[in-house]
């Protein structure tokens, strides 16, 4: 019987098909600075012992780095005495929690019905082409992260794109390059 190690090697040479590969680097990605740690500790301290606060805590913790690296999740888990499996389960369930670093600006293209009917798909396509990334990805210069969202309630000015905190409505495909320039 081969050791586990050998098994991995021999089996990896088998007919490999892409799967959700898990890379350890992606997991051990970040070391928090003193200040960031303090901020996190404070958030945890304020919520300790109260019930039902996990999502709130994650929202606040996400503000520290703009996303939730494993490190933060582990600290939240330990701090609130919630299993790490559950913290991650919650993080991975909700689309507004991100486990990957974000660009300076997040571009959210509304793909809700009203925007969809008004051509949101074309706007999204144009943005993908301009930025050369897919939704969920960040540009190499770390300026933009592209996301889609399902209605921000500004359907009156569909199609809508949110960049950072600004909403931009009644967009056309032609507007896109100019729009991006404002943030470059």
Partner 1 sequence: MLVTVTIDGQEVEVSEGTTILDAADMLDIDIPTLCYLKELNEPGACRVCLVDVEGDANFQPACVYEVTDGLKVRTNTPQVIEARKRVIELLLSDHPFECLTCVANQNCELQSVAKQYGIRDLEFGGERNKFPVDDLSPSLVREPSKCILCRRCISVCAEIQEVHIYDVIERGFGSVAAPAYNESLMDTPCITCGQCIMVCPTGALHGQDDTQKVWDALADESKHVVIQTAPAIRVTIGEMFGLEIGSLVTGQLVAALKRLGFDKVFDDCFGADVVVMEEGHELMERLESGKDLPQFTSCCPGWVKFCESFYPSMLDNLSSCKSPQQVFGALAKSYYAEQAGIDPEDIFCVSTMPCVAKKYESQRPEMDSSGHRDVDAVLTTRELGEMIKQIGLDIKKLPEEDYDEPMGYASGAGVIFGSTGGVMEAALRTVYERITGERLEDFELKSVRGRDFKEAEIDLKDGRSLKVAVARGTGNARRLIHRIMNGEAEYDFIEVMACPAGGCVGGGGQPIYSGRDKWLRMVEDRAHRAKGLFEEDGQKEYRVAHENPFVKKLYDNYLGDPHGERSQELLHTSYVDRQLYTHEERYSDKKGEPMKVAKKNH
Partner 2 sequence: MAPKAEILVCGGTSCYSSGGPDIYKNLIEELKRKELEEKVKLTQTGCFGFCEKGPVVVIYCEKEPNGIFYCQVKPEDSERILKEHIINGEIIDDLLYEDPETGAKIPGHEDMGFYKYQQRIALKNCGLIQPYKIKEYIARDGYRALGEALSHMTSKEVIEIVKTSKIRGRGGGGFPTGLKWELTAKAKGSPKYVICNADEGDPGAFMDRSILEGDPHSVIEGLAIAAYAIGAEQGYVYVRAEYPLAVERLEQAIKDARELNLLGEDIFETGFKFDLEIRVGAGAFVCGEETALMQSVQGERGDPRFKPPYPANKGLWGQPTVINNVETLANIPGIILNGGEWFSHIGTEESTGTKVFALAGDIHNTGLIEVPMGTTLREVVFELGGGIPNKKEFKAAQTGGPSGGCIPKEHLDILMDYDSLIEVGSMMGSGGLIIMDEDTCMVDVARFYLDFTQDEACGKCTPGRVGTKRLLEMLNKIVEGEAEPNILEKLEALSNQVKKSSLCGLGQSAPNPILSTLQYFRDEYEAHVFEKRCPAGVCEALLDYVIDEEKCKACGLCAEKCPAATIEGDKEEGYTINSEACKSCGICEEECPFEAITKG
* Interacting residue ranges for partner 1, rule: CB under 8 A: 1, 4-5, 7-8, 11-12, 14-24, 27-28, 70, 73-74, 77-78, 83-89, 92-93
Q: Are 69 and 37 in contact (CB under 8 A)?
A: no
Q: Is 163 in the site for ligand FES (CB under 6 A)?
A: no
Our CB check for partner 2 shows the closer of 71 and 147 to be 147
Task: By CB under 6 A, name the one of 18, 156, 178, 181 that touches ligand FES.
Answer: 156
Provide, rounded to whole angstroms, the least separation between the CB of residue 17 and partner 2: 19
Residue span 105-124 as binding mask against ligand FES, x where in contact by CB under 6 A, dash where not: -----x-xxxx---------
């Amino acid at each position: 019987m081969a050791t586990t190690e050998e098994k991995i090697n021999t089996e990896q040479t088998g007919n490999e098909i892409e799967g959700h590969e898990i890379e350890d680097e992606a997991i051990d990605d970040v070391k928090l600075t003193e200040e960031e740690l303090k901020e996190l500790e404070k958030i945890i301290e304020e919520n300790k012992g109260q019930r039902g606060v996990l999502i709130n805590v994650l929202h606040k913790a996400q503000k520290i780095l703009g996303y939730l690296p494993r490190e933060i999740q582990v600290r939240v888990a330990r701090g609130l005495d919630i299993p790490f499996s559950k913290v991650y389960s919650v993080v991975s369930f909700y689309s507004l929690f991100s486990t990957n670093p974000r660009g300076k600006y997040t571009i959210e293209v509304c793909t809700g019905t009203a925007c969809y009917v008004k051509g949101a798909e074309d706007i999204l396509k144009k943005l993908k082409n301009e930025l050369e990334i897919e939704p969920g990805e960040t540009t190499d210069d770390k300026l933009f992260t592209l996301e889609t969202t399902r209605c921000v309630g500004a359907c009156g000015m569909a199609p809508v794109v949110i960049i950072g905190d600004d909403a931009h409505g009644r967009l056309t495909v032609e507007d896109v390059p100019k729009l991006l320039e404002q943030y470059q």
